[in-house]
Amino acid sequence: MHFKLIIVMADDVKTEAILEAARETGATGATVLNQARGEGLKPSKTFFGLSLEAQRDVILLLVEEHMSRRILEKIAQVGDFDESPGTGIAFQIDVEDAVGVRFQISKLSESVEEEI
């Protein structure tokens, strides 16, 4: 079984909706890193030297490669990434090898067979 790692950087207020959508689309789990900071095309505004940027979360999802594009598209839709600037980004990278995923593989085997 081959995996992709989906990396999502999104406003923390959208994290729960993104996690729920990813799980409904086939993801079997996620790791969330809280309080990340990011900057897009425009620098964040300041008020008397204090930053006014929203908190971001980094969400890591190890997913089966046949399901990855559908999960990625669902995340983009729920996060409004292509609709509003500065709401977040998501991308996927190939995973050469993974350990500790034996229980996920048994669950994913059934879903992947339906996909293929």
Model's pTM, two decimal places?
0.81
Mean pLDDT (the chain) is 85
Task: Examine residue 46 and state whether it is found in any structural domain, yes or no.
Answer: no
Q: What percent of the chain has pLDDT over 90?
A: 52
Q: Is residue 12 part of a domain?
A: yes
Query: Closest by alpha carbon to 32, among 44, 41, 23, 24?
Result: 23
Structure tokens at 34: 């809280």
- Confirm if 37 and 15 have CB atoms less than 8 A apart: no
Structural domain includes residue 45: no
- Provide the terminal-to-terminal Cα distance of the chain, rounded to the nearest Å: 13
Task: Please give the residue range of the domain that contains residue 14.
Answer: 3-40+51-115
List, for residues 26-63, the tens digit of each pLDDT value: 998 899 999 887 766 666 666 666 665 667 899 999 99
Give the C-alpha separation, 79 to 74, whole Å. 8
Q: Looking at per-residue confidence, does 82 or 59 come out higher?
A: 59
Output the domain CATH number for residue 106: 3.30.70.120
List CB contacts of 110: < 8 A, sequence separation 6 or more: none
**What is the structure's pLDDT at 77?**
95
What is the tally of structural domains in the chain?
Answer: 1
Task: Give residue 104's identity as a one-letter amino acid code.
Answer: Q
